[in-house]
Structures are given as structure tokens and as C-alpha cells.
Structure 1
Amino acid sequence: MEPKTSEQGIILVVDDTPTNLEVLFDLLGNSGFRVLVAEDGESAIDKANYAHPDLILLDVLMPGIDGFETCRRLKANEATREIPIIFLTALTDVVDKVHGFDLGAVDFITKPLQCEEVIARVKLQLRLQNLTKQLQHQIEQEHLIGEIAQGIRRSLKLDEILQSTVDQVRRFLHTDRVVIFRFNSDFSGKIVNESVDPAWKSVLAVEFYDPCFKEHYLQRYQQGQTSAKSDIYNAGLSPCHIELLEQAQVRANLVVPILQNNHIWGLLIAHHCSGTHEWQMIETTLLQQLATQLGIAIQQSELYERTQNELIERQRAEQMVREQAALLNEASDAIYARDFANHILFWNHAAEQLYGWSQAEIQEKDATELLHNLQPQEFETALKVVFDQGAWQGELQKFTKSGKAITVMSRMTLVRDKVGMPKSILTVDTDITEKKQLEAQFLRAQRLESIGTLASGVAHDLNNILTPILATSQLLLLKFPQEDDRTQQLLKIAESNAKRGAELVKQVLSFARGTEGRRTAVQISHLLGEIKEITNRTFPKSISIRTELPPSSLNLVYADPTQLHQILMNLCVNARDAMPDGGILTLSASNVVIDESYARTQLDAKAGDYVMIAISDTGTGIPPEVVDRIFDPFFTTKEVGKGTGLGLSTVLGIIKSHAGFIEVDSRIGQGTCFKVYLPTSKNQSTSSTATLELLPGHGELILVVDDETSIQDITKTMLEDQNYRVLTASDGFEAISLYVKHNQEIAVVLMDLMMPEMDGLTAIRTLKKMNAEVKVIATSGLVLDNTLADVSSVGVDVLLPKPYTAEALLKELRRILDTPTCATPKR
């Protein structure tokens, strides 16, 4: 209900005397009041119900129901209870007056009426009534504000607070619509909360933009001023503003700004849509007070929302830290962080596994001493780079808890706080110890391969040199059997040393290419038994020789027994030389299984079943700086004249040709252990060598082709002494020319494969085109893995490696001459 600020109002005069009615009608009307009249109590009650007068002047003595009964009925009616009643009466009895006051009358005017008294008493009662209404309205307003403030304190849900406010304000002010309008950054905006009478359309969530707003209203609203328009058509508004209000069916509006930190957040607006409305100060004050409370609610809500967002962000960050920590713990690299006092702040599982220190143990110790004492100078240099440049990466040597030295690829990063100040160092260490070992093995393999290539060429030349020496010495022994013993001894010395030279060349080729001999299934325990017998007979008695074999039989290995014998004797001799004052030589073997993980640590290893042969001594040991070079050819630590430097390089070549690998473990002053790993085979095979009868020739013509004149000469002499005829040629072109002339006579062509101008393979292909049935013995000072395949492809009958003996040449020559058809080349 809205209080009136004017004293004028509606007066209902009730009197059964027409004269009194006329006098009062004129008196009150002339004083500015609107006057209604009734001649009895019944009609008075009816008019009071529909007209709602501000005051009733009621005569006491009337026919029908008197004034007292009329008053009683009016006060019993909810609609008319609050209307003040002044009795008009000629009665002066105090009892009557008390009865009237008990019924609810506010005053008595005694007849005959005095005009000034009537006007004064009417104005007084109207003023009192208006003040009462204002007081009651103020109480209700304060109650409303208190209830909304209490709601703000009880709830942090802004939308609920705003909606409750517009609902209560509309009911309190009896307006058609109350809304809250929120601004965007460009001062457009939309209705975010609304309470509206169902008779009028809703504008909730409708976007509004007033192009005149910034110019005419922004500054006023930012200063907290309000705007009250009783009639939008008579308020001097711009056409665009009127059009905007018409969209919302607004006829009168009251606008109060909602400020947030001295900035305008939005507007609290009350609308009258049904007609004009004179806004009262009490209404404006109410909206201002509520707007202040809403500003508090908004600030409180935004603070709560910001706090909640920060809490959510913190929880998200903590969750991310936990997830990152979990991921870091799953990482295969050692990851840890430390402060500048060398205290560990974070230490993941991989760091525990790599270094052996648990999180609790590492926190109690100086990290620098634990992790970097192998290279203190290098680590200090790395730290300086981290502080200067923010990061460093490189290799470091570190210790584990067990004292094992490892190599790591270390990446250090400087971690800064929010203000950019350094606070810790994050380190990621990758264990590259195995990688470095493999790199060293790979480099050694490359070095050996390079030397091997050189050695292969040298071997070829040496074989060409040794061939005539060996053949000549054997030929002379056969040609002059009656010579004195001294001459015979010298020839045997020449033959023996030629053969030693040939064996040396074979060792070089074994190292260089891993040449294969005849392979068969070998029982290592038998071989070790033979080695033990030999060493027991030949080694000094100060060396005790032991064997350690498993109770069950060892798996078989498919290998060349002679070559295995050679490598084991080589290793045993080296062990003997490492124990000049005596010691223990242990020969052992066992079945082992190499898994993928272990195979990755050895360059030549593959996963599978192996027989491991160990040759151990208690000798002087091998210095660490020498271990990586012991398999290099021609490298030896022995005195001049006591070693060729080909022993271990040959061992390595033979082992690699058998698809095996070798490990070395040596300690200065404690001894050395060589472990040879050979893949097992369960297929046993046997081999036999046919013994051919050595028969002289029958005058057959042999074409000898070789670029070495000495080999031509000795071969020609050798063959002619055995009843063969011989033609010689120095290269492929000459050989073809001679074959064209004598193709009907030439029985066999003895062809060197490596010659200038036209090589042996090309010459053989040409001869085969001329005569597919031509018989060919190929010779070479360098037999590589692909040599047999090459000579087979051109139809060679026999491949004879240099240096060859007279016996070997004559046997092969006789064999193919006695063979009627071409056969697969024999080696």
C-alpha cells in the first residue's frame, strides 16, 4: 500500500438529515476534499466497501442501524477496518463517547457543528492516518531490507538472491514488473532476473542496447543517482529511449544503479505498465537501499566464486602435480630435483633403481658427494652453465650406492619461482653405461674390420709369395733325394717355415674374415679334456690345472674342432704367460641361456641357448686401459719376439665366424677370465676326407694362368716332373688366346682368380662360352666368403687356396681328369 503525502482525500459523510449533508458537502468540498454522502448506515457500508474513503464522518442517531452499529460493522470488515471514523453527535454523555471509542472511533464532533472545528479535526485525523501509514510502510520496508540482507548472509548463490529480491520488491511496491539489468563491457546488456505480473510479457534474457545511454545516463548512474519517470511520454526522453521502453510495455519506471567497486554493474528497475505512476521518495529510498545490499551480495558472490575458482585451480594443480609425479615415477629415466643446499626435493622410482638410494636415504645426505664425486670439476662446470644459461646437457660419471661406476646422459634445468628467482635444479639422468660399452665394442669392431681389410690384401700377396717357396722346397726334396743330410735338412727347414708362413696367413684370414673350416657337432667336455692333457704335459708344474664341468652333459656345438682347439690353446697359453710364478688355470664350461636383455649388452650376441667356456687364471691381470685393445691384430703386451699379436685377434675372428661372442673380466693382481659363448646345436653331423691315390700324369696338356712368374715357373716344373705338358699365361687375355690355339689338346686350365687386365672369373666365363666342358681349377691367395659361390656360378671344378702344395695340386688335378663330367667345385 502506498502512503499519500497530501492532506486532501476522500471523505464519506453519513447523516440522515439532508441539511447536515448539504452543509458538510459544501464545507468539505470547498476545502479541497472529495465528498461522498450516505443517508443511513446500510448505504454507508456499501459505499465504504467500493470507494475506500480516507475518512468517515458518521452520525450516531439514525433510523435503521445507528452510527454505533454501523461503526462496529465497518471495523469488523477487513476491507474497511483501517478507515478512521469521526462520530457526529448531539450526545454529550461520557458513556456514549467511551462506547464510540471502544468501537474504534478516533474522535467526536459535537452538534451543532462548527465549520472551523470540523475542518481542523478532519485534517488532523487525515495527517495522523498518513503518518501511521508511512510508519507502517517504513517498518515493512525495513523488514524487507533486513530479510534480503539476511538472505545475502545465508546464501552465496547470487542468482537466488537476485531473484528473491525482485520477487519481494514487486509484491511490496505493487508494481507490474521488477527487473535486474546487467551491463556488458560496451554497456549493452540483458535482463538477468525478473518478477512480472502475468498480465504483462516477460523480458527475461532479452538483450537491450540504448545508444543514448552513455551520453545521458552513464555518468549519473556511476555517481549513484536515480531516475524516476512517472510517464515516459512526458519525461523528455529521446525517441530511441521511448522506443526501447515501449518494447517492454513500460509506462512509468524507477531506475536505481547497482554499483560494484565504484563501477556500474547493472540496474534495479521497477516498471508500471498499466498506467502512469507518481514515484514516492520512500519507493526510491527502498530501491537504493536494496541496490546497496545487492552490490554487497555481488561482491560477496564474486569473491566466493573467485575463491572457489582458486580452490578448484589449486586442486587441479595439486592433481596435476600428483599425476605428473606418478608419471615421473613411471619414467625409465632417473628424475630428481634438489635445492641449492643439495637437499633432494623429489626422487623418482627410476632414480632409486639406478642409484640404489631410497627417498629417505637420499634426503639425509649431500647429493653432490653421492652422485658426482667421480668428476667434481666437470660437475661444477656444468652447474655454472646451468646458472648462466638455464640448462646443461652432457655425460657424467657417477657412483651408485654399491660403488659401481656408471655413465649417464645428464640434463639439468634451472627451475624458477613465480617471480623468476632460481629455486631448484631439475635433473634427468639416462643410464647410457650399456650404450657406451656397445659403442666401444662397435668402434673396436670397425677398427678390426678396417685392419681386416688391409690384412686380407696382405694375405693374398703373402700366399702368392709362399706358393713357389713351398712348392719348390717340396719339389727339390723329391728331385734330389740322394743329397746329403745337411741339404735335406735345409730343404725341410725351408718347407717347414713356408708352412708356418702359410699358417700365419691363415690366422690373418681367420681374423679378417672369420674363414670357416669343416663344421661338425662338437662335445666341448671332450675338447677340454684334450686341452687339459696337453697343458698338463707342456705347462710348468707350478701351474695347477683344474676343470669344472657340470654333472650333466653339455649341449653340442656345431663348429670346426681344429679352430676351437686353436682358440682354447691360445687362451691357455696367454693364461700361462700371465702366471710366470705359477698359479691356477681353470677350464670350465656350462649350458647358459642368453635372454634379450643380456643380448643387448653385447654387440655380437643374440638371444638363445649357448655353451659358455671359461678360461680363468690367477695371474697378473690386464690393465683397464689395455683391455679394449687386446683383440686388435698385432697388438701385444709381451716382449719382442715372444708374440705376434695375432693370437686374440684370431680367437675373435674364429668365435665370430661361429656366431658366438667373447667376454673379458680382469683385475690387476687377481687374474683374468675369458668367457667364450658358442650357440648350441642338437644336430650331430660327421665329415670325412677322401684319400685319393697320387698318380702321375699321362702327357695331358695343362694351361697354367697366373700373373706371378715365380708361380708359373714352379708349377710348370712340378707338373712336367709328373709327366704333364704345360702352357703358361700371365693374364686372362693371353690364356684365351692360347686356349683358342690348343683347345683340342688342353685337358685342364689352372686359373688364378686375381690378375690384372682380365681377372680369372671373366676369363673362365669366356672359356666356358667357348667350350662348356672345359675343366678348370681356380687358385687364389684370398678366399673370401663369397669366393666359393662366385666360382660355382662360372662352372669351376676345384677351388685350390694358395699356397698349395705339390701333393694337393697333383691330387686335385688327377681327380678331375679322372672325372668324366663336371662336378660341383671342391674346396
Structure 2
Amino acid sequence: MLNPKSTAETDQMQQIIHQLTVAAIGLNAANSIVVINEAGLNYLELSQQPVTKLKIEDLIPDVYSLMRRSREDQQNYMVGLAKRGLADPFNAKLSFSFFKRDYPINEQQVSTLIFVEALNEAQLDELNDQQSMQFDMLSCYAGGIAHDLNNILNVITGHLEILQLSAAQDLNIKKCVCSALKGVERGRVLSARLGHLAYHEQKNASPCYLNKIIQDNLELLQELVSNSVEISIDLTEHLLPVELDSSYFIDVLINLCMNANNAMAGQGRIVIKTFLASAQELNVTAAENQQIFIGLSIEDSGCGIPKVIQDKIFSPFFTTKMNNKGTGLGLSLVQSYMHNHNGFITLKSKENEGSCFYLYFPALQSSKVVNNEKEPNMEIEQKLNGKHILVVDDEAPILHLLKEFLGIYGLNVKTANSGSEGLDLAQNEDFDLILSDLVMPGEMDGAEFASLLLQQKPDASIIFMSGYTDNKLIDKEGLANIPIISKPFRKKELLSQMDVVLT
């Protein structure tokens, strides 16, 4: 038997809602519409529609995602799309109030109250600015976590590789080490996704071939999606190179493939294609010397994206995923990456027929593609043997690791646990090469250390090591040409980079 208090409250609540002059919609505990006031019917052009036959998702397409985020983030309002006349979408400020009761609830009792207010361009810009500030704070926090995680992964990687060298003849140990290194690589990818929240501009862009990057990472992509999802490739041969930051591009591939995986509920097919496209056929305005683009498409056989929300999918924090399964940042970061590499991204999607994202990069007419995966060989080892090296890092395990590892190859290594200590050593001794962490606590980080040293010793050879730069080199004159090796790095990458700098 229902509590009389419940029935009385239901009538009182509905009377109050009907008296409001703002558009208001009341939902019951099952999220069915039980009341829309007169202001709401007029505002949303629903006067001719029977309220009992309306569904809230027909009025506010992403309502469940917005409600979830409002509850979790404890925000009274969210920005989303609403519809007039069930067809005309507009940007709206949606305010949510949730009611919790400790007695039986009847079907007409309001559990969620939604206020709908249209936003003009100025209001939308103001709210977007507030959202951008939140994004910047999140970026800073995520970057700090990525930096610490990369230091940990670097120590693990280094000791595994030392073990690999010392147990080269033991196949069982070698197999275990290889498996562990694959696990570290997965950790590197996850750390990169954190660090990329702070990504705003090109860092290490260089000429690359899209086909090679896709082929080199196909196994990783297949491991990340569900077992019932097949990834196939259709790559056009002999494509021109493009200029991009390949490490961040891998994250773009991961984001798009994971989105496709989720859209198919873990079962279906993803097709990755590359192709040639002209500015004319793409109907884009391009510079005279930039008429050719290299295209990449990632297509899935999933549920598709409703047309009404397709304009919002690249907005930061916009997500339709429920139960904490999405942050709403993936596609925003992909679009930012494309913009910063002078490219663009488009979408073709239809509900129940899947989606296809198209990425277009300006093609380089002629360029020598640098192979950064060069294996260290005996010639490199001989050239490095006997070199005097200084390693500067605030992490004692990393100092110990690099001293041990570089010692295996015959290098004489000294270490410093701060920028100031490194500067004292570098001022009083001549080193063939200096390896310095870029992000260090205290008054002197890696950038400041290098700037002061180069003022006194302009010919000093330096390599920065970092998993997160926080744009520390932007305003530092004379540091732009210093190479950065990203943590966690494999030791073959470090030896190859040292060889390049010392040659």
C-alpha cells in the first residue's frame, strides 16, 4: 500500500511544476515523462503531442549521459542538445534536480526535474571557456601523473633489458623478459594517453609513412580491442610521406579503434584504409603547394552515431557512454592533433549502419624519412666506448640504472641528482655528452640547467629525457634543437640517439 505522503507530494509537486514560467520536465523513477508544464510545451513546441507518449530521449538525445555526469560531478546543470517539435535541435543549458525518498514511490511521482533553457552564442562561448579551464587543470594533473608513471616504467624497462643482456643464452629467461617488456609497452601506451591530455602543439614532428606506422602497431591495436573484433587493413602502396609526431599519432589510432570497439559492443569488424586525395575532390581550400593529401579512414560495423549529436562528438567531455566507460576526451584530442598537424578530420555515420572517421594529412612532396628504430650495432658500441657521460635526474633509481647500463657499453658515467649539482659538475669537467631529465623539482629544472650550461659551454652536447615536457622549451632560446627522448625509452633508442648527437 502506498504511503499517503507519497500521493500528496505527487499532486503538490506537479502543481508547482505547472506554475513555473520556465520550461520544466518531470521524470519518474523509471525515467518516463510524467509531467511537462505549459512553458515547456510551448518552448519545445509540443502542444499537439500527448505527454504520455513522449520519451525524454526524443526531446534530449543524450539525456542519460548528461544525467549520469550531473550526478557524478555534482553539477546542477550541463550543456547539451534539446529539440523543438521533436526535430529541430538547439544548444541548451539543462538543469537537473534529483529527489531521493525513503518511502514507496508511485509512478506519477517526480524523481528527476529537468529545466531547459536555450543558449545563444555568447552564453555558449562563456560556458565553453569555463569548460576549457577545467580541461587545463585536468591536463596539468594528468601530465604530472604521466611523468611519474613514465619514470617507474623506465626503471622497469631498463632492468629487464639488463637482464636480457646478461641472460642472452637462457631461452626461458629471454622469453619471460620479452613478455614483461610487452607488458611495459602496454603501460607506456596508457601513460601516453594520460600525457597527451596536455598536448597542444607539434613537438617532434618528422616525415613519416602512415602505412608503416599502421603496420608496426597493428598487433598492439588488435590486442586492445575485444577478442571478437577483427581489425583488417587496406593500405594504398607508395603513398607520399606526411609530417607528424608519430608517438602521438599512435594514440590517435588507439582512440579511434577503441571508440569503434565500443560502438560494436565488442563484436564486429574495423577496417583501416589509407589512400590519396586531392584538395579539389575534398572541396577544401589549400595552399598552392599543398594540393595533395594522404587520407586515413577507420570504419566500424557498429551502431552508428545519431545525426543530432554528430556536431558535438569532438567537444571536450562530451560522451554517450554510460557507467564511467568514457571521459569524452578521446575525439577532442584527435581533432586537436589533426589541427596542430595542419590536417582535418571528418565523419560519415548513419544509425545502425556504422561509422567511418576520415583523417587527412598534407602530403610531403619529397622528403627523406628518418628511421628512428635503428638497432645499436657493434660500430655504435665501439664509437661510444670510453666516452665521458653525465646523467642528471632527480630519480635515484634511474641514475643507478643508466650508470649500470651505459657501463656495460664501456662508457664512463657520472651522475647528479639535481640541476644545480649537474651544473657544478659540468662547469668543472668536460663531458662528451650530457643526458638530463627535463622535468625536475626545485629551482633548476632540466631546461634551466641546459640554458645556464650553454651560456658557458656553447658546444656542450645534451639530450633531454622526459615523459612529459609541460611545454618547458617554448620560451627557452637556444634549446629548440636539443633532442628529447621520451620516457620510458628502450635502451636501443637511447644508444642510437647518443650516436646521432656524438657523430
TM-score range, shorter chain: 0.5 to 0.7
1:494 to 180, 185, 188: 180
Instruction: Give the secondary-structure state (helix, strand or coil) at the position aligned to 2:168.
Output: coil
- Structure 1 position 657 matched with structure 2 position 347: no
Residues 495-574 of structure 1 aligned to structure 2 (within 5 Å): 495-514=181-200, 515-520=202-207, 559=244, 567-568=252-253, 570-574=255-259
Residues 426-437 of structure 1 aligned to structure 2 (within 5 Å): none
Instruction: Give the secondary-structure state (helix, strand or coil) at the position aligned to 1:670.
Output: coil
- Structure 1 position 764 matched with structure 2 position 454: no
Q: 2: CA distance between counterparts of 1:765 and 1:645? A: 39
Q: Mark the CA change 1:456 to 1:652 in structure 2 (over 3 Å): closer, same or farther.
A: farther
1:593 to 260, 272, 283: 283
Q: 1: CA distance between counterparts of 2:120 and 2:274? A: 29
Report if the CA contact (8 A) 2:389-2:412 is conserved. yes
Instruction: Give the secondary-structure state (helix, strand or coil) at the position aligned to 1:793.
Output: coil
Report if the CA contact (8 A) 2:257-2:270 is conserved. no
Residues 213-228 of structure 1 aligned to structure 2 (within 5 Å): none
- Structure 1 position 809 matched with structure 2 position 494: yes
Instruction: Give the secondary-structure state (helix, strand or coil) at the position aligned to 2:432.
Output: strand
Cα RMSD after superposing both structures: 5.4
Q: Mark the CA change 1:688 to 1:740 in structure 2 (over 3 Å): closer, same or farther.
A: closer
Residue deviations 1:368-406 (CA, integer Å, cap 9, x gap) = 999744377xxxxxxxxxxxxxxxxxxx97748x94234
1:450 to 131, 137, 145: 137
Report if the CA contact (8 A) 1:375-1:397 is conserved. no
Q: Mark the CA change 1:787 to 1:763 in structure 2 (over 3 Å): closer, same or farther.
A: closer
**What TM-score comes out, normalization by structure 2 length?**
0.58
**What TM-score comes out, normalization by structure 1 length?**
0.38
CA shift for structure 1 position 762: 2.8
Residue deviations 1:543-576 (CA, integer Å, cap 9, x gap) = 89899x9xxx999965467766763564345334
Q: 1: CA distance between counterparts of 2:174 and 2:481? A: 37
Report if the CA contact (8 A) 1:664-1:672 is conserved. no
Larger radius of gyration: 1
Instruction: Give the secondary-structure state (helix, strand or coil) at the position aligned to 1:704.
Output: strand
Which stretch of structure 1 is more off in the superposition, 492-501 or 470-479? 492-501
Residues 116-131 of structure 1 aligned to structure 2 (within 5 Å): none
CA shift for structure 1 position 722: 1.7
Aligned to 1:477: 164
Residues 43-82 of structure 1 aligned to structure 2 (within 5 Å): none
Q: Which letter does structure 1 place at the counterpart of 2:339?
A: K
Aligned to 1:151: none
Aligned to 2:369: 687
Report if the CA contact (8 A) 1:698-1:724 is conserved. yes
Q: 2: CA distance between counterparts of 1:782 and 1:561? A: 16
Q: 2: CA distance between counterparts of 1:628 and 1:636? A: 11
Report if the CA contact (8 A) 1:586-1:615 is conserved. yes
Q: 1: CA distance between counterparts of 2:233 and 2:427? A: 66
Q: Mark the CA change 1:735 to 1:578 in structure 2 (over 3 Å): closer, same or farther.
A: closer
CA shift for structure 1 position 709: 0.5
Q: Mark the CA change 1:406 to 1:630 in structure 2 (over 3 Å): closer, same or farther.
A: closer
CA shift for structure 1 position 666: 6.4
Q: 2: CA distance between counterparts of 1:454 and 1:615? A: 31
Q: Which letter does structure 2 place at the counterpart of 1:512?
A: A
Q: 1: CA distance between counterparts of 2:311 and 2:389? A: 53
Report if the CA contact (8 A) 2:241-2:367 is conserved. no
Q: 2: CA distance between counterparts of 1:684 and 1:432? A: 48
- Structure 1 position 619 matched with structure 2 position 309: no
Provide the identity percentage: 25
Which ranges in structure 1 are unaligned for 5 or more consecutive residues? Answer: 1-367, 377-395, 410-430, 596-607, 820-827
Report if the CA contact (8 A) 1:630-1:648 is conserved. yes
Q: 1: CA distance between counterparts of 2:82 and 2:153? A: 52
Report if the CA contact (8 A) 2:272-2:296 is conserved. no
Q: Mark the CA change 1:676 to 1:564 in structure 2 (over 3 Å): closer, same or farther.
A: farther
Q: Mark the CA change 1:398 to 1:710 in structure 2 (over 3 Å): closer, same or farther.
A: closer
Aligned to 1:47: none
Aligned to 1:286: none
Aligned to 1:94: none
Report if the CA contact (8 A) 2:208-2:369 is conserved. no
Q: Which has the higher contact order (CA 8 A, sep 6+)?
A: 2
Q: Mark the CA change 1:703 to 1:635 in structure 2 (over 3 Å): closer, same or farther.
A: farther
CA shift for structure 1 position 710: 0.6
Q: Which letter does structure 2 place at the counterpart of 1:578?
A: A
Residue deviations 1:513-572 (CA, integer Å, cap 9, x gap) = 155554448789x989x99xx99xx9999989899x9xxx99996546776676356434
Q: 2: CA distance between counterparts of 1:527 and 1:576? A: 17
Residues 94-243 of structure 1 aligned to structure 2 (within 5 Å): none
Q: 1: CA distance between counterparts of 2:203 and 2:255? A: 18
Q: Which letter does structure 2 place at the counterpart of 1:812?
A: Q
